[in-house]
Amino acid sequence: MGQVRIELWAMTVGAVVNGLLGSAVMPRPLRLAGYKLLGAQVRSGNIFPGLRVYGSMRNLEIGRRTFLNAECYLEPVAPIRIGEACQFGPQAMIVTSHHPTLPDGTVSRIAEGRAVEIGDRVWVGARAQILPGVRIADDVVIAAGAVVTRDCPVAGVYAGVPARLVRKTTVDTP
């Protein structure tokens, strides 16, 4: 039943979201209107072509002045909240589905969603991956290629696989 639902989504909403709205020929204002019409809470029209969304548009929230570069991948199986004035490099990825280990040691074939929250003024480098259940504080920089497996609770630069704090930063608030 779940596989049928996934296939139906891909042929309908998925085709509109990823094929039409994500197209390079779609003007940004129309892309924004389409995302909103499908239930996303998107407050920024600065989303470049190639965005791929696999999950419920109702689970997606993107703050004002946030920029998503080309070919980013979002999987809002569980809620994804991206704050204001964030910057995402090309092919950055946010995944919310998790397959837990069962009591017998096997991995469940049924995905569970774990929400991802990203604060304000966060920079996410090219091809960085943010995994299920992660919370990222305001004013964090995620280095290109980093894999974020745990929360990033303080302002600073996180890099590596898995990502870890490599430098704290001080933030001047206006």
Structure pTM? 0.90
State the burial class of residue 153 (Cβ atoms within 10 Å of its Cβ: 0-12, 13-18, 19+): exposed
Question: Of 6, 15, 9, nearest to 34 (Cα)?
Answer: 15
98 flagged as catalytic: no
Q: What residues does 97 pair with on adjacent strands? A: 113
pLDDT-derived band at 4, boundaries 50, 70, 90: low
Q: Is the pLDDT of residue 162 over 80?
A: yes
pLDDT confidence of residue 173: 54
Pairing of strands 129-130, 93-95: parallel
User: Stretch 110-124: mean pLDDT, rounded?
Assistant: 95
pLDDT over 70, % of the chain: 91
Mean pLDDT for all residues in the chain: 92
Distances (CA, A) of 45 to 31, 65, 67: 8, 8, 8
pLDDT in tens, 51-92: 999 999 999 999 999 999 999 999 999 999 999 999 999 999
Q: What angle do CA 105, 109, 115 make, to 5 degrees?
A: 100
Residue 15: helix, strand or coil by DSSP? helix
> Which of 28, 58, 99, 164 is labelled catalytic?
99
